[in-house]
Amino acid sequence: MLEVNRISKRFTTSDGVIPAVDDISFAIAAGEFVSIIGPSGCGKSTLFNIIGGLVGDYEGQVKVSGDIIHGTHPAIGMVFQEESTFPWRTVLDNVAFPLEISGLATSERLERAQHFVSMVGLEGFERRYPAELSGGMRQRVALARTLASEPRILLMDEPFAALDEQTRLLLGDRVLQIQQQLRQTTLLITHNLTEAVQLSDRVLVMTYRPGKLKREIDIDLPHPRDSEVVSSDAFGRYVAEIWHDLREEASRGIRDDENRVLRARSDR
């Protein structure tokens, strides 16, 4: 369904060339839920933006159903890491946004939007503005808005990164239910171990600079799952296994940060 073929991307900055993504390849089958996990700064968002068609000028190819795509593609829906709801629109109008762009008549698009608002569990908040909602609710609005465009492939970049652990687990349940219902091909980008194991059929571990794929782990936990799964032994083993791979990368990322701070001081 989605195929990423030898993607590389370098950024040239005043600090030199940063190999943000280095020769990454993987494929996701229709209906599969795959997570990419890696320490912060390893190139996850860059990869997300390349697949979504928002960043150009990279090496390699992105294919949807076998066809190479350039730029944005109607089959791909994106949910962003930062707060991305439109503050001047109500919840319902936010969710109806892609339908408005595609020129659907008002009554029909509000009806469809309502369906997706309910799907993310926000009935009763249709007339509220994002400023009146909590961070978790706003992320659900953003998710519903992307779902409303009915993409066959859903890309999510750390959608719950800013939320507390409990909210994150419960939203994870919600995402699983939705995925069960819509059978969407999903690529979730995260730095959270529990989230990756809780939600995915398969987890890809990324290295820190250059951003390469280090390992691939099939998560063989029963479906349908919910957040109760975090207390099972198998869950713990998967988390430990991924952490074993991730640990080294994360510590390199931290050391890099420290060095950057030290260098910034000695430059002055």
Ligand X SMILES: Nc1ncnc2c1ncn2[C@@H]1O[C@H](COP(=O)(O)OP(=O)(O)O)[C@@H](O)[C@H]1O
* Cβ proximity to ligand X, 18 vs 239, nearer residue: 18
| Cross-strand partners of 157 | 189
Question: Which residue among 45, 149, 184, 198 contacts ligand X (CB under 6 A)?
Answer: 45
- Is residue 104 close enough to count as binding ligand X by CB under 6 A? no
Q: Which tokens belong to 260?
A: 């950057």
Kindly state the smallest distance separating residue 9's Cβ from Mg ion, in Å: 14
242, 167, 233, 166: which is closest to 203 by C-alpha?
A: 242
Residues 214-233 that bind another protein (CB under 8 A): none
* Cβ proximity to ligand X, 42 vs 155, nearer residue: 42
Window contacting ligand X (CB under 6 A); options: 10-18, 88-96, 128-136, 244-252: 10-18
> What single letter denotes the amino acid at residue 223?
H
Which listed option, another protein, Mg ion, ligand X, none, makes contact with residue 13 (CB within 5 to 8 Å by class)? Answer: ligand X
**Interface map 90-129 toward another protein (x if CB under 8 A):** -------xx-xx---------------------------x
194, 101, 192: which is closest to 148 by C-alpha?
A: 101
**Interface map 42-71 toward another protein (x if CB under 8 A):** -------x--xxx-----------------
**List of E strands, the chain:** 2-13, 16-28, 33-37, 59-64, 67-68, 76-79, 153-157, 185-190, 202-206, 213-218
Which listed option, ligand X, Mg ion, another protein, none, makes contact with residue 101 (CB within 5 to 8 Å by class)? Answer: another protein
Under a CB-based contact definition with an 8 Å cutoff, are residues 197 and 239 in contact?
yes
Window contacting ligand X (CB under 6 A); options: 13-21, 26-34, 57-65, 145-153: 13-21
Q: Which residues contact 82 (CB under 8 A, 6 or more apart)?
A: none
The CA distance from 195 to 192, in Å, is: 5
* Cβ proximity to Mg ion, 11 vs 125, nearer residue: 11
The CA distance from 91 to 96, in Å, is: 9
Under a CB-based contact definition with an 8 Å cutoff, are residues 240 and 254 in contact?
no
Question: Which residue among 37, 41, 64, 151 contacts ligand X (CB under 6 A)?
Answer: 41
The CA distance from 169 to 195, in Å, is: 7
Backbone angles phi, psi at 68, to 5 degrees: -70, 135
Helical segments of 187-232, H only: 193-199
Question: Which residue among 5, 84, 167, 180 contacts another protein (CB under 8 A)?
Answer: 84
Window contacting Mg ion (CB under 5 A); options: 40-48, 56-64, 105-113, 230-238: 40-48
Kindly state the smallest distance separating residue 10's Cβ from another protein, in Å: 21
- Placement of tokens 């979504």 in the chain: 52
Site residues for ligand X per CB under 6 A: 11, 13, 18, 20, 38, 40-46
